[in-house]
């Protein structure tokens, strides 16, 4: 499954991938497969890591969509996801089933993302990078406060969407939760990719992001395309939030903060401009963190974040625009 997933993602990004990077990924996937066949704990950790990694990856993809559309790094992306997860919790309390609440939440997230772009980001988008970043930081703090205000900081519990059963694969018992998380996230990522790749709307959105002036000339409504881009990013974030909740077992306002940090790392690792890079970066970070903490003893869970970032900075030093990013060439 690991190798299949990786190769599917790889074909997704074959146009931008560098041969050396693909070789590295192939080697990693092979290593995971061999390890999983030899040790059942390793296999369990790999599945768990992939599931967590898919959550990081989908939030990272949301960041990349926003960055490509508006060149804004959205610090509020994680808090937005957290807020929509609270919305889902509320809907379930009101009597909807889990998957009904899931669908309604995604719709709400889409509207929320679009509205935020129109109201808050559009005015600062053309000013300076830092003004837009500060607005999203303000939004981060604001959403945190509003969620705390409406729902309080007490822990909330949601029913698990996948039940508590476990699968038995060749002597390895795997909780249904992790494959479920992985598949839901993967499905939504593929849907978004298909939207961008095969529909006229997707084409217009890509055009608006890459060449705003030229697209406006051929009749693309650039402003709306960018707003829809934010809406889609919020939907992906909502999926990430909803799938992160069962893995932490509780819902609380800090739900997405550690995940946002890893999503940033994943997005940068993949190169901020590359959607496939973000997803692969997320999976790589999820798997490697889970395995490193288990097997490399000097690295306890306290050091998990510093080590992840040391690796990230190391990668950036070798390739300043990420593994799948393209260097900007400027004319003097």
Residues of this chain that interact with another protein (CB under 8 A) are 67, 73, 75, 120, 123-124, 127-131, 133-135, 137-146, 148-149, 153, 257, 261, 264-265, 268, 272, 300, 302-303, 305-306, 309-310, 312-313, 316-317, 320-322, 332
Least separation in angstroms between CB 255 and another protein:
15
Q: Which is nearer to another protein, 47 or 233 (CB)?
A: 233
Q: Which is nearer to another protein, 66 or 174 (CB)?
A: 66
Least separation in angstroms between CB 33 and another protein:
30
DSSP-derived secondary structure letter, 320: T
Query: What is the C-alpha radius of gyration for the chain, rounded to an integer number of angstroms?
Result: 20
Burial of 237 (0-12, 13-18, 19+ CB in 10 A): buried
Spatial CB neighbours of 169, under 8 Å, sequence gap ≥ 6: 43
Spatial CB neighbours of 283, under 8 Å, sequence gap ≥ 6: 5, 6, 9, 50, 53, 54, 56, 57
Q: Which is nearer to another protein, 75 or 230 (CB)?
A: 75
Least separation in angstroms between CB 254 and another protein:
11
Least separation in angstroms between CB 141 and another protein:
3
Q: Which is nearer to another protein, 66 or 88 (CB)?
A: 66
Spatial CB neighbours of 46, under 8 Å, sequence gap ≥ 6: 2, 32, 35, 36, 287, 290, 291
Least separation in angstroms between CB 306 and another protein:
4
Angle value at C-alpha 262, between 232 and 89, nearest 5 degrees: 55
Q: Which is nearer to another protein, 246 or 277 (CB)?
A: 277
How far, in Å, CA of 128 to CA of 126, rounded?
Answer: 6
């Amino acid at each position: 499954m690991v190798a299949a997933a990786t190769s599917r993602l790889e074909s997704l990004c074959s146009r931008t991938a560098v041969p050396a990077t693909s070789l590295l990924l192939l080697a990693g996937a092979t290593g995971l497969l061999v390890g999983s066949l030899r040790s059942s704990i390793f296999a369990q950790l790999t599945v768990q890591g992939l599931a967590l990694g898919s959550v990081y990856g989908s939030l990272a993809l949301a960041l990349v969509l926003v960055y490509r559309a508006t060149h804004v790094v959205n610090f509020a992306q994680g808090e937005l996801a957290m807020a929509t997860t609270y919305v889902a919790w509320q809907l379930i309390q009101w009597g909807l089933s889990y998957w009904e609440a899931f669908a309604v939440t995604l719709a709400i997230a889409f509207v929320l993302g679009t509205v935020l772009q129109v109201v808050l980001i559009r005015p600062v988008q053309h000013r300076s990078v830092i003004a837009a970043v500060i607005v999203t930081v303000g939004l981060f703090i604001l959403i945190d406060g509003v969620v705390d205000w409406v729902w309080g900081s007490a822990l909330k519990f949601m029913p698990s969407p996948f039940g508590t059963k476990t699968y038995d694969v060749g002597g390895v018992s795997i909780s249904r939760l992790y494959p479920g998380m992985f598949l839901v996230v993967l499905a939504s990522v593929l849907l978004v990719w298909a939207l961008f790749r095969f529909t006229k709307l997707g084409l217009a959105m890509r055009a608006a992001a890459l060449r705003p002036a030229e697209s406006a000339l051929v009749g693309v409504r650039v402003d709306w395309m960018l707003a829809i881009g934010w809406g889609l990013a919020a939907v992906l974030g909502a999926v990430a939030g909803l799938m992160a909740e069962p893995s932490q077992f509780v819902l609380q306002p800090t739900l997405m903060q550690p995940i946002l940090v890893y999503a940033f790392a994943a997005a940068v690792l993949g190169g901020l401009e590359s959607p496939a890079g973000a997803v692969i970066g997320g999976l790589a970070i999820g798997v490697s963190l889970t395995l490193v903490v288990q097997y490399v003893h000097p690295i306890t869970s306290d050091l998990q974040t510093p080590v992840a970032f040391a690796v990230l900075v190391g990668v950036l030093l070798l390739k300043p625009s990420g593994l799948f990013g393209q260097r900007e060439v400027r004319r003097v």
